[in-house]
């Protein structure tokens, strides 16, 4: 038993995720409810502008989820000659939404195995998966650790492919001094509850390309022709000078097959509050992450995790833990041990093509993605968020030591 941060006696609790809602956000939400202007408007536009500035890109287009961000970014390709049934290369290990988004955008995902050390796509395998129907590479920066973007962009350039970064979990991550998500043609972020920047639900696509951004704004609203960066009707009481410019109502002229996935003002208000706290949240998460990573070697050879490599900065989504070959316990036993002691866990996703039933129709067979499959059956991840601190991280470490002591392993307790 330990003393918790609120002064009460009892076992520590280490919840998986949290969301920060500062007082200014609460005031904005109260004002919005009073005004009854809740659909996408001036707060969404402000959030997009500030997010674009943070990512050092020209454009950001807010949508209703990280999955929608992937779907819309991929759907832009249809304006540039892609056809339904064309292929997109995807890492086998990711949250299932990565693969689902490719299908929803009208493409066929072609899966490539990962590196166990990084949890990211093995770039050495990408070119072997490229065919005449390949249109894009969709790398995932899993757990906020950057994928090898130099190799990916070089391959894409040789084969004239788009690169769309799935940066859902990678807020605050950098690859060679460039913010992750702003390196490829487009980058898709999730703004879900547990993420560094959250709007509760939500997602956002960033790009340097103004034309892509216009198509994204069209796609998020049923493919309509009205796609100005700032919608006068949604942000001011003024009459739009472009709406009837060519006689037809642009707001009800549909140029392409689209979706209905706009962000609303309440979500944007939460996001703006999170942006105000962004540096503080990121610093706390990185401090928590490295409190664990700097001491994790003591659990070798039974447990492993990721490392921050040269020229990269991890934007911590969570702490991955992988049970290694030869460990005297299973993932289920690890999970049960942690959960019984108040440390919430999540599986470290799955091999989408071979461990997710919805993708059985594609005909992949178990064993084709051995590294992704291993992590999918032996990996968990735990919280690293801003409501946790050194005391909770020490509790996690001591709990892992307790588990190993049960099997007679002492390790190097207190190392680091």
Beta bridge partners of 2: 10
**In this predicted model, what pLDDT tens digit does every residue of 37-52 receive, in sequence order?**
888 889 999 999 999 9
Alpha-carbon separation of residue 326 from 230, 276, 302, 364 (angstroms): 58, 46, 7, 28
Instruction: Tell me how far apart the alpha carbons of residues 116 and 67 are, in angstroms, rounded to a whole number.
Output: 24
To 5 degrees, how large is the angle CA 351–CA 126–CA 97?
Answer: 35
Give the residue among 182, 125, 180 at the shortest CA–CA distance from 151. 125
pLDDT in tens, 297-327: 999 999 999 999 999 999 999 999 999 999 9
Tens of pLDDT along 82-91?
999 999 999 9
Give the contacts of 168 (CB within 8 A, at least 6 positions apart).
Answer: 66, 69, 70, 95, 97, 98, 140, 188, 189, 190, 195, 203
Residue 233: both structure tokens together: 């009707």
Which phi and psi angles does 2 have, rounded to 5°? -135, 165
Read out DSSP for 373-413?
HHHHHHEEEE---TT--HHHHHHHHHHHHHHHHHTT--TTT
Over residues 14-35, mean pLDDT = 94
Residue 159: band (very low, low, confident or very high) from pLDDT cuts 50, 70, 90: very high
HSE on the CB side for 127, CA within 13 Å?
Answer: 11
Q: Which residues contact 266 (CB under 8 A, 6 or more apart)?
A: 29, 32, 38
345, β-bridge pairs: 382
* pTM recorded for the entire structure: 0.91
Evaluated on CA atoms 314, 319, 324, 327, the torsion sign reads positive
8 A C-beta contact, residue 101 and residue 70? yes
Per-residue model confidence as pLDDT tens digits over 258-298:
999 999 999 999 999 999 999 999 999 999 999 999 999 99
R_g of the chain, CA atoms, integer Å = 22
Closest CA to 195 of 267, 132, 244: 267
Domains of the chain: 23-275 (3.40.640.10), 278-406 (3.90.1150.10)
CA gap 181, 227 in Å, rounded: 23
């Amino acid at each position: 038993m330990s003393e918790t941060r609120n002064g009460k006696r009892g076992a520590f609790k280490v919840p998986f995720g949290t969301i920060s809602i500062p007082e200014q956000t609460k005031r904005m939400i109260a004002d919005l409810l009073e005004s009854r202007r809740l659909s996408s408007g001036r707060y969404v536009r402000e959030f997009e502008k500030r997010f674009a500035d943070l990512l050092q890109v020209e454009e950001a287009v807010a949508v209703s989820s990280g999955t929608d961000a992937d779907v819309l970014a991929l759907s832009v390709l249809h304006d540039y000659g892609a056809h339904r049934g064309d292929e997109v290369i995807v890492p086998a290990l990711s949250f299932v939404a990565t693969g689902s988004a490719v299908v929803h955008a009208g493409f066929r995902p072609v899966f490539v195995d990962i590196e166990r050390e990084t949890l990211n796509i093995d770039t050495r395998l990408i070119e072997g998966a490229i065919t005449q129907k390949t249109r894009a590479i969709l790398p995932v920066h899993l757990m906020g650790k950057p994928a090898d973007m130099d190799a990916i962009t070089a391959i894409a350039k040789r084969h004239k492919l788009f690169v769309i970064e799935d940066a859902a979990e990678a807020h605050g991550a950098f690859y060679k001094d460039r913010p992750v998500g702003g390196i490829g043609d487009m980058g898709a972020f999730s703004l879900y509850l547990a993420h560094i920047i959250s709007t509760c639900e939500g997602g956002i696509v960033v790009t340097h390309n103004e034309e892509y951004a216009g198509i994204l704004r069209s796609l998020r609203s049923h493919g309509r022709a009205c796609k100005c960066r700032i919608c006068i009707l949604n942000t001011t009481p003024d009459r739009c000078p472009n709406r009837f410019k060519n006689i037809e109502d642009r707001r009800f002229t549909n140029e392409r097959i689209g979706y209905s996935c706009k962000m609303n003002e309440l979500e944007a208000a939460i996001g703006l509050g999170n942006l105000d706290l962004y540096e503080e949240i990121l610093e706390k998460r990185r401090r928590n992450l490295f409190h664990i990573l700097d001491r994790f070697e003591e659990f070798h050879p039974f447990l492993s995790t990721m490392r921050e490599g040269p020229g990269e900065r991890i934007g911590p989504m969570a702490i991955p833990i992988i049970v290694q070959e030869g460990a005297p316990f299973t993932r289920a036993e690890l999970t049960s041990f942690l959960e019984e002691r108040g440390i919430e866990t999540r599986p470290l996703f799955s091999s989408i093509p071979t461990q997710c039933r919805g993708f059985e129709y594609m005909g992949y067979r178990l064993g084709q993605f051995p590294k992704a499959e291993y992590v999918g059956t032996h990996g968990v991840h735990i919280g690293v968020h801003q409501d946790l601190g050194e005391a909770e991280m020490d509790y996690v470490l001591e709990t892992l030591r307790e588990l190993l002591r049960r099997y007679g392993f002492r390790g190097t307790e207190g190392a680091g």
